[in-house]
């Protein structure tokens, strides 16, 4: 069983299936939040359904929108289960805290290379820990 250590995160512990790529992430720029799919054609996860998955991506990018949007996505059941990023920015952290969506970043390795799409994960933000159960 592999285990990866990140910085202490935000939100509750969860278990679920990973959807991973090395691309960056913005809720506004990259997602069709009504259909629950990645909508930016140049994104490696283009066309993938992200709802209920643990999104594993490189860095948070772009603007202010994610802070409000994550809570609305949770309300509409159109949110990922959790976010694992190499680098979050303040907007993503503020959004995760507002939505109580699990988020961990700053791992001891490139998390997008360590985790594959389809991996079964247990994540514990309070400890900054990700376990691969696959």
CA torsion, ordered 117, 123, 128, 129, to nearest 10 deg: -80
Residue with smaller CB distance to another protein, 93 or 115: 93
The least distance separating another protein from the CB of residue 70, rounded to whole angstroms, comes to 9
Residues 6+ apart with CB under 8 A from 39: 30, 31, 32, 46
Name the residues that contact another protein, by CB under 8 A: 7-10, 24, 26, 28-32, 39-42, 58-69, 71-76, 87-91, 93-95, 97-98
Q: Which is nearer to another protein, 24 or 117 (CB)?
A: 24
Instruction: Give the up-direction half-sphere exposure of residue 80: CA atoms within 13 A in the CB hemisphere.
Output: 28
Beta bridge partners of 31: 38
Q: Smallest distance, Å, CB 95 to another protein?
A: 7
CB nearer to another protein: give 64 or 133: 64
Round to whole Å and give the CA distance between 22 and 44: 8
User: What is the nearest approach in angstroms of another protein to the Cβ of residue 1?
Assistant: 26
């Amino acid at each position: 069983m592999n285990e990866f250590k990140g910085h202490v995160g935000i939100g509750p512990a969860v278990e679920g299936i990973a959807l991973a790529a090395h691309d960056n992430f913005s809720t506004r720029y990259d997602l069709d939040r009504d259909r629950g799919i990645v909508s930016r054609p140049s994104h490696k996860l283009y066309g993938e359904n992200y709802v209920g998955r643990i999104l594993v991506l490189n860095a948070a990018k772009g603007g202010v929108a994610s802070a409000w949007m994550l809570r609305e996505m949770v309300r509409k059941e159109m949110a990922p289960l959790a976010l694992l990023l190499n680098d979050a920015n303040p907007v993503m952290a503020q959004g995760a805290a507002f939505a109580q969506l699990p988020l961990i970043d700053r791992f001891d390795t490139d998390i997008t290379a360590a985790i594959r799409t389809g991996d079964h994960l247990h994540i514990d933000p309070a400890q900054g820990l990700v376990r691969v159960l696959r």
